Structure 1
């Protein structure tokens, strides 16, 4: 009973062995996967995967890398996708000042637009935040998501996390939690309330130890659950059930 709340199974790296990847998901006890869009095409693919497989759900949205591609037509098409069955969230959206593939002002504008569209659609948001902590914080304070949200692959400090938790956000942990140099992320995981944490892979990226540097896949989310259980001094089964319940709560599947 584990939910990988953030994966990209439509990525081309899975083309040759997609069915094998799905079999490993099932055999590893992963009962749900959320496939997350980053542009209109990947959002469409996410919705299609959710229609094709009963254990896959979808999130739709425009990643900050792709913010320059956004037009009124794209936003209208996303609004239509948001009404499809098994679309649980709007994302991944946010800011990325590490690669800066779109101008920062455009990233901010598109981020705000999508928070408003998610509010209109009745969906929580999934936030991508890389090296943009201050601006992300200011935007979510000024434009709060009405249906909650998740900071995916949380990378900020505990001080920042305390503010986000107070606002109502969930924090999602991925492979980096298992890295040997993950002192700050471990601190956040140790202090975060049990009922506000999620697990993910961000497949095919961010493989956990001992597979770091290799292609990631949803079956490996077990390593994140294992590490969280160790940090929280719980059994793996207890942590799996808790994070599943948390995901059901934020994504309104209770």
Structure 2
């Protein structure tokens, strides 16, 4: 039986956290076995950790979204300490986002923070969850300079072209497809979805954001990851079961702490 995993969501946000039981039930009904809740700041991490600790099929990461400013920063020591928790399986999300950050001070802050997260991931021996927007080449440059390939990771909510995907995979990173791949005007991303080797593919909702068709514009949740798998299967002319099996296998291959927990 096929089993889907949402490799990136934000169940701890207010739009979803107050209806967690009904969402978990929807996941079961949609054969979505597990989900990873990505950390985006320091102030909300305790709520994230409490949530993933309550449920065997939820995992978490610790990190600071590049657009988070005027907030208390994680030190490398903070990240390493929090990454020791059995339910925290990655560092991130982290990366660069130049879509709104126009000033040099903000760019410099993002770069410095990004490098700290990579160092922490290497020290902790866990993978990275990378956010990049309007900054792909600079993101890859820093990943290469800091030897992030030693731990690898995933480029979440991939929105770049095939050349960027190839460069990321060469650095030991998986490519994660979100609901954007179902959008009619997302031709470049759909082309990437056709070409990614199945052993480098992950799927995600990034919920509560980016609801896939046919729910575009509504609040998203992990049960909708099945529509992303369905679209990828359609684009590649393969079965949804094949997408489910390969992306789930990849999830446990990348996030080895989750795999060890499931086996034990």
The answer to whether TM tops 0.5 is: yes
**2:244 aligned with 1:240, yes or no?**
yes
Q: In structure 2, what is the Cα distance between the partners aligned to 1:34 and 1:244?
A: 12
Match in the other structure for 1:201: 205
Compared with structure 1, are the counterparts of its residues 113 and 67 closer, same or farther at alpha carbon in structure 2 (3 Å cutoff)?
Answer: farther
Do the aligned partners of 1:40 and 1:78 also contact (CA within 8 Å) in 2?
Answer: no
Taking the aligned partners of 2:32 and 2:128, their CA distance within structure 1 comes to: 23
Aligned residue number for residue 86 of structure 1: 87
Q: Distance in 1 between matches of 2:165 and 2:24?
A: 33
1:228 aligned residue: 232
SS at match of 2:43: helix
**Residue 113 of structure 1: CA displacement?**
0.7
Structure 1: distance between partners of 2:24 and 2:123: 33
Q: When the two structures are aligned, how many residues end up with a matched partner? A: 253
Deviation for aligned residue 1:134: 1.8
Measured after TM superposition, the shift of residue 86 of structure 1 is 1.8
Query: Given the alignment of the two structures, is residue 173 of structure 1 paired with residue 174 of structure 2, yes or no?
Result: no
Unaligned runs of 5+ in 2: none
Match of 1:56 among 55, 58, 61: 58
Q: Secondary structure at the match of 2:68?
A: helix
Matched residues in 1 for 2:34 and 2:26: separation?
13
Corresponding position of 2:137: 134
Name the SS of the counterpart of 2:85 in structure 1.
Answer: coil
What value does the CA root-mean-square deviation take over the aligned residues? 1.6
Structure 1: which 5+ residue stretches go unaligned? none
Deviation at 1:128, TM superposition (A): 0.4
Q: Does the Cα contact within 8 Å between 1:3 and 1:247 map onto a contact in 2?
A: yes
1:41 shift after superposition: 2.8
For the 8 Å contact 1:112–1:139, the answer to whether it is kept is yes
Moved more, 166-175 or 8-17: 8-17
State the partner residue of 2:28. Answer: 26
TM-score by length of 1: 0.95
**Which digits, 9 at most, give the CA deviation of each residue in 1:148-199, with x for residues without a partner?**
1100000111011111112211000000000000100011111111100000
Is the CA contact 1:225–1:240 (under 8 Å) kept in the aligned structure 2?
Answer: yes
Distance 2:242 2:49 in 1: 31
Rounded to whole Å, the distance in 2 between the matches of 1:57 and 1:130 is: 25
Aligned to 2:157: 153
d(CA) in 2 for partners of 1:4, 1:41: 24
The residue that corresponds to 2:114 in the other structure is 111
Question: Offset at 1:69?
Answer: 2.8
Question: Displacement, 1:115?
Answer: 0.3
CA distance in 1 between counterparts of 2:72 and 2:131 reads 17
Whole-angstrom distance in 2 between the partners of 1:156 and 1:220: 22
**Could you report, residue by residue, the CA deviation over 1:78-113 in whole angstroms, capped at 9, with x for unpaired residues?**
322110012111110001111229701100010011
Secondary structure, in 3 states, of the residue corresponding to 1:91? strand
Shift in Å, 1:21: 1.4
